[in-house]
């Protein structure tokens, strides 16, 4: 059969609404013209948002400050 279109990956900054502490949005798409850029005419196959954690305490709980 015919070869399938190559896949592309786009990584952008996640919105502050999705990730208040920042993060990345990863989009997998069918890159029909194989240029590595997601275009309006290409099909998005999946999207994931990965958020940074909130800043926390740098020590274990219940340990004294030394």
pTM of the model: 0.74
At 20-66, the pLDDT tens digits run 999 999 999 999 999 999 999 999 999 999 999 877 666 666 666 65
Give pLDDT, residue 34: 93
DSSP string, 1-58: -PPPPPEEEEEEEPPTTT-TT-EEEEEEEE-TT-SSS--TTSEEEEEEEEEPPPP--S
């Amino acid at each position: 059969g015919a070869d399938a279109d190559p896949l592309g990956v786009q990584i952008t900054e996640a919105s502050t609404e999705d990730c208040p502490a920042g993060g990345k949005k990863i989009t997998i798409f069918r890159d029909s013209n194989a240029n590595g850029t997601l275009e309006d005419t290409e099909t998005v196959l999946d999207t994931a948002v990965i958020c940074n954690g909130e800043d926390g305490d740098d020590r274990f709980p219940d340990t004294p400050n030394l």
